[in-house]
Amino acid sequence: MRRVYLDNNATTRVDPEVVAKMLPYFSEDFGNASSKHGFGIDVATAMRDARRSVQALLGAAHDHEIVFTSGGTESDNAALLSALQPGGERNEIVTTAVEHSAILNLVDHLRETRGVTVHIIGVDADGRLDIDAFKAALGPKTAIASVMWANNETGTVFPVAELAALAHETGALFHTDAVQAVGKTPINLKETAIDFLSLSAHKFHGPKGVGALYVRKGVKFNPLIFGGRQERVRRGGTENTPGVIGMGAAAAIMQQRLAAENEQIKALRDRLERSVVQEIGHCRVSGDIDNRLCNTSHIAFFDIESEAVLERLDRAGVAASSGSACSAGSTEPSHVLKAMNVPANALNGAVRFSFSRDNRSEDVDRVLEVLPDVIARLRETALAARGGAAG
Ligand code: PLP
């Protein structure tokens, strides 16, 4: 049976070339980058190259604007907490209803424990941000505005360059969680006024547990983690050297291939989406269709439960996701779909297919072979149950 992985927004396979580049840093090149002898200097040199590769992928002006972290969650925490110093004059945050939990749970915590005022901006039915509400929420007390570059569930892309400029008009800093955008859309930070950007290596064929925070030159940064003088005293602790080398290698490969690869990925995504809508029907594609990541298709099937769809797909060797949080056996509808006011009969039937460079046309063929039957059977069961209940 062909196994098909279409959950690349959750994580991607580490590229074999990346693995090969990482391996020596577990063995012969094991030195500590802070050591002044040859073992340390060799590693520090390789880390400098990795930093430059990440800088190039982001179009950042200086390599020192890249701070290595343990991933997207840490980078998000570091950016917001840096801007919100206790006792500071500005103690408000502006963010959106569709952020990742790395932001939403952090701002909840800051509201509860530090009395921070949090403005949560909504989106329309296609997931587009209410820009007027964003503007209205900004003010002299705003410390930082944080808006994701692209949404992890629907792939909707936000106008972050424009939003950064608006935040700056009120003297606020601007952070973007670009964990889903890096590697899926071109980024040129030199052309924007963005102050902080979070990224995570495992979303673009690098290893897990490593990421970076971009901190624009000249922006004051207060560390989240205190310790040694690593990362120019912005993040204490001996660096995850193999991880950093892997992230650099993944960034360099991505930069080379991004344009061509994304065209292929989009073609596969579009074929699957078109066929599902035409052949299965009674479903709705979620997100801003004209402004979406090239790899993501989020389809809400009416009147059925996505968990049942995913379970049956998994049995047929196809991995996809619902995008909704699963806790203690019960599934909560996704906060992103709720924010978009998706109709009640579609809220629980959302399936996200997310592609990467590892997908092939045969993967789409396989989904189209199994999915129509899975949906038809679930609809029959749902109809029978409703008939039974009515009777
Ligand atoms: N932000 C977004 C938009 C994400 O999709 C994710 C991961 O799913 C994260 C943050 C968290 O990143 P990490 O897994 O590196 O902590």
Model confidence pLDDT, tens digit, residues 255-312:
999 999 999 999 999 999 999 999 999 999 999 999 999 999 999 999 999 999 999 9
pTM over 0.85: yes
Average confidence (pLDDT) over 24-39: 97
How far is ligand 1, taken at its centre, from the CA of residue 390, in Å? 43
- Assigned architecture for domain 16-253: 3-Layer(aba) Sandwich (3.40)
Confidence of residue 388 (pLDDT cuts 50, 70, 90): low
pLDDT of residue 391: 44
pLDDT of residue 344: 85
How far is ligand 1, taken at its centre, from the CA of residue 15, in Å? 19
Residue 352, ligand 1, Cβ within 6 A: no
Per annotation, catalytic residue among 41, 136, 289, 326: 326
Written as one letter, the residue type at 182 is V
Residue 207, ligand 1, Cβ within 6 A: no
Instruction: Compute the mean pLDDT over every residue in the chain, rounded to the nearest whole number.
Output: 95
Nearest-angstrom CA–CA distance, 336 and 13: 26
List, in sequence order, every residue forming a beta bridge with 353; answer none if it has no partner.
297
| 326 catalytic per annotation | yes
Angle at 64 between CA 58 and CA 66, to 5 degrees: 45
Residue spans of the domains in the chain: they are 4-11+258-382, 16-253
The domain made up of 4-11+258-382 is a member of CATH 3.90.1150.10? yes
Written as one letter, the residue type at 89 is E
- Confirm if 14 and 205 have CB atoms less than 8 A apart: yes
Distance (Å) of CA 277 to CA 286, 302, 371? 12, 12, 12
Nearest-angstrom CA–CA distance, 272 and 255: 26
CB-based contacts of 181: which residues, under 8 Å, 6+ apart? Answer: 148, 149, 150, 157, 187, 293
Residue 177, ligand 1, Cβ within 6 A: yes
Residue 200, ligand 1, Cβ within 6 A: yes
Q: Is it the case that residue 327 has pLDDT exceeding 50?
A: no
pLDDT of residue 390: 47
pLDDT of residue 333: 85
- Cα first-last separation, the chain: 41
